[in-house]
């Protein structure tokens, strides 16, 4: 299933995916299955929800270990210092510098929220 998604992306975009693009595909697959599992839970379809969670476990075997909160906070601090970020106008600089370091190892939405909170503080 993972290989099929990767091949489909390569065919659709007529490119050969590099490691970061493959991580993005796998991360998207995990997110889709998490959303599906939540919907199945809401509909009391525990059988289908557990199937989605099993697939998540399988896909996560191919992803790098997720960053801990401490590691993520240290990377954010380091990147903010390196880019000289001081306010919300620097959000793009910080996200752009961090993305290659954390791709596939953290939820980008959660990362964005953490950076936003730091820049607004």
pLDDT tens-digit readout, 46-93: 999 999 999 999 999 998 888 999 999 999 999 999 999 888 999 999
Q: pLDDT band for 3, please (50, 70, 90 cuts).
A: confident
CA dihedral 39, 44, 48, 54 (to 10 degrees): 80
The answer to whether 45 and 60 are in contact (CB under 8 A) is no
Q: Tell me the pTM.
A: 0.71
């Amino acid at each position: 299933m993972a290989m099929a998604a990767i091949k489909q992306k390569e065919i659709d975009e007529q490119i050969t995916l590099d490691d970061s693009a493959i991580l993005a595909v796998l991360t998207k697959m995990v997110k889709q299955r998490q959303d599906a599992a939540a919907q199945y839970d809401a509909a009391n379809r525990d059988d289908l929800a557990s199937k989605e969670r099993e697939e998540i476990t399988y896909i996560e075997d191919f992803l790098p270990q997720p960053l801990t909160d401490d590691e993520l906070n240290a990377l954010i601090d380091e990147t903010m210092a390196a880019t000289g970020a001081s306010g919300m106008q620097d959000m793009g600089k910080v996200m752009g510098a961090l993305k290659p370091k954390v791709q596939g190892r953290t939820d980008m939405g959660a990362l964005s929220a953490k950076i936003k909170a730091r820049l607004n503080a």
